[in-house]
Amino acid sequence: MKNDKTFDDKRLLGVLDGVDQKFIAEALESYDLAEPQKTRKAPIYRRVALLAACLLLVSAAFPIINYVLPRFGITVGGNAGAGSEEVQTAMTSQSQIIDSPYDRSIDAYPEGMPVNEILEDVLKGGWVVCDDNREIVGYDLWNEFLDKVDRKESCSVLVAWYGILSPISSSIDYEASTYREFILLNKISYNGEKYDLETRNIQTIDSIDSKTSGSYLYLYKTEFNPSEGRESNIKLWVLADEPNVSLTDYFKYSLSSTSVSLKYSLRFLFPAEE
Amino acid sequence: MNDEKIIELLFARDERALAETEKKYGNLWRYIAANILCLPEDREECLNDVLLEIWNSIPPDRPNDLRAYSVTILRRRAIDRTRSVNAWKRSGNMQTVGEEFLSTLDDGTDLAADYENSRAVGILNELLENLPTLERKVFVMRYCLGESISGIAAKTGSSEGRIKMMLMRTRRKFKEILIKEGIAL
């Protein structure tokens, strides 16, 4: 993004100023600020009494939880020691795996990959969602993954890459005749030594109109390359089962192109080569 | 007092209309003004500007929705206050919102050339018309009302991640259409 852009820019104001009032009216339906809020604080003696009651409840609950309930074989909370980490890890991994669109067969989508439906699913949690490396949802999961890689622990993360194919991303290899949203589902695994990249929905290309008849599709992204001081097209993905080239090779190829944002996103795939 | 009554008072040049409007929508205006302007004194002056403009524009205007009408005025007046560099430095959430919006439109997209004939505006309104209701509301709340991501998430009952994705997708669709229509380079 250029640094000289400001909100005062006519480009922005000119467009947003013209948004139809009916849309603003519609959005304002979510605001419930029409009437002044009337709040009345309870008298001081009531607040003190309420506080005292809470303290009494807490102090009474403590011996019940620790001494009375265990006699009947009931425990509350559990051991906060060594086992809790394992439980937490198991829960995290479950949330990433269970009910995940990644585990659904492509046959489950006879009409093609439903981008909206899949996005809804992956956004429910346990996924990292990238938009051409510019915006990422799920930084925490990324960072968690990176931390484990740093510690040489086995780990995996599910990544959904969202994008729109259009004539502007055309190249000699591919020319889209229509604008199509796509979502690419990856599972990136690390076993303590090397990475593995699985791609679930390569078949997505079958639903994309292409004037070329090849069995492959390249996606390009234009990025500023600081070492060359200019913008360059970077081969980002190949969405195809081209027999002699694996997707992982293309990630390596992309990494060697060393763009700022790509490096940011892909460095975790091959940190040893940096 | 309902909007129709307030508008009737305005047409009758009865100053009670202003008090009633401020009473009814003052909280909403302050909330939205706070998204755009940081300083309380700026916001209060902005509210006075809104009341003055309502007084001057109704009549002849007879808005169907006084709330949306007044918020549109508020937004314009608030942005006017951010025009100077010093005011801009004091502006709040809208700076982030503006940069976020432009981040997608960048890459040579030049709306300024087409600003006068409003092609881009028409395209945006057409895009909004065709969006699902939730995505449209989210877009307007973010870019027209300066609402925070967390605020939108709370108001729509969605997660922040989902809101970000919706905004990103809408921005990208808009950009793609602009390019397709030959507005961008």
Q: What is the 3-state secondary structure (H, E, C) of B106-169?
A: CCCCCCHHHHCCCHHHHHHHHHHHHCCHHHHHHHHHHHCCCCCHHHHHHHHCCCHHHHHHHHHH
Do residue B88 and residue A134 have CB atoms under 8 angstroms apart?
no
Chain A residues inside the 8 Å CB shell of B122: 18
Give me the phi and psi of A148, to 5 degrees please. Answer: -65, -35
pTM for the model stands at 0.49
Give dist(CA B4, CA A264) in Å, integer: 56
Contact criterion met (CB below 8 Å) for A11 and B110: yes
Give dist(CA B120, CA B113) in Å, integer: 10
> Please, how many CA atoms are within 13 Å of residue A176, restricted to the half-sphere of its CB?
22
Give dist(CA A149, CA A145) in Å, integer: 6
Measured between CB atoms, does A23 come within 8 Å of chain B?
yes
Identify how many contiguous H helices and E strands chain B contains and give both numbers: 11, 0
Do residue A18 and residue B155 have CB atoms under 8 angstroms apart?
no
B105 — pLDDT class (breaks 50, 70, 90): low
CA A118 to chain centre: 12
Q: What is the pLDDT of residue A69?
A: 63
Measured between CB atoms, does A11 come within 8 Å of chain B?
yes
Contact criterion met (CB below 8 Å) for A160 and A184: yes
Q: What is the pLDDT of residue A204?
A: 37
Contact criterion met (CB below 8 Å) for A131 and A219: no
How many other CB atoms are there within 10 angstroms of residue A143's CB atom? 11
Record the tokens describing residue A259, joined without a space.
């763009």
Provide ipTM, 2 decimals.
Answer: 0.76
- Beta carbons within 8 Å of A20's beta carbon, 6+ residues apart: B125, B128, B129
Measured between CB atoms, does A119 come within 8 Å of chain B?
yes
**B95 or B14, greater pLDDT:** B14
Measured between CB atoms, does A7 come within 8 Å of chain B?
yes
Helix or strand (DSSP H, E) at A233: strand A230-238
Q: What is the pLDDT of residue B27?
A: 85
pLDDT, tens digit, 9 for 90 and up, residues B125-135 = 888 888 888 88
pLDDT, tens digit, 9 for 90 and up, residues B138-172 = 988 888 888 888 888 888 888 777 788 888 888 87
Q: What is the pLDDT of residue A94?
A: 38
Residue-level pLDDT, tens digit, chain A, 274 residues: 333 333 334 555 667 777 888 888 888 887 765 444 444 455 666 777 777 887 777 777 766 666 666 666 565 544 433 344 443 443 344 344 445 666 665 556 656 556 777 777 777 767 777 665 445 677 677 778 777 877 888 888 887 776 655 444 433 333 444 455 666 677 777 777 766 656 655 333 333 333 332 333 343 444 445 565 554 444 444 433 333 333 344 443 333 333 222 222 222 222 222 2
B93-180: CATH number: 1.10.10.10
Q: What is the pLDDT of residue A142?
A: 72
Give the 3-state secondary structure of residue A245.
coil
Mean pLDDT rounded to a whole number for chain B: 78
Record the tokens describing residue A56, joined without a space.
């009494």
The residue of A3, A20, A115, A129 whose CB has the most chain B CBs within 10 angstroms, and thus the best one to mutate to test that interface, is A20
CATH class, range B3-90: mainly alpha
Give dist(CA A156, CA A96) in Å, integer: 9
Q: What is the pLDDT of residue A67?
A: 64
How many other CB atoms are there within 10 angstroms of residue A159's CB atom? 24
Chain B residues inside the 8 Å CB shell of A167: 180
Q: Where are the domains of chain A?
A: 43-75, 151-274
Q: What is the pLDDT of residue A163?
A: 62
Measured between CB atoms, does A36 come within 8 Å of chain B?
yes
Q: What is the pLDDT of residue A239?
A: 39
Q: What is the pLDDT of residue A171?
A: 36
Do residue B112 and residue A11 have CB atoms under 8 angstroms apart?
yes
Give the 3-state secondary structure of residue A187.
strand
pLDDT, tens digit, 9 for 90 and up, residues B42-90 = 788 888 888 888 988 888 888 888 888 888 888 888 877 766 544 444 4
Record the tokens describing residue A161, joined without a space.
């890459």
B174 — pLDDT class (breaks 50, 70, 90): confident
Q: What is the pLDDT of residue B111?
A: 52
pLDDT, tens digit, 9 for 90 and up, residues B89-98 = 445 556 566 6
How many other CB atoms are there within 10 angstroms of residue A152's CB atom? 11
Give dist(CA B168, CA A181) in Å, integer: 12
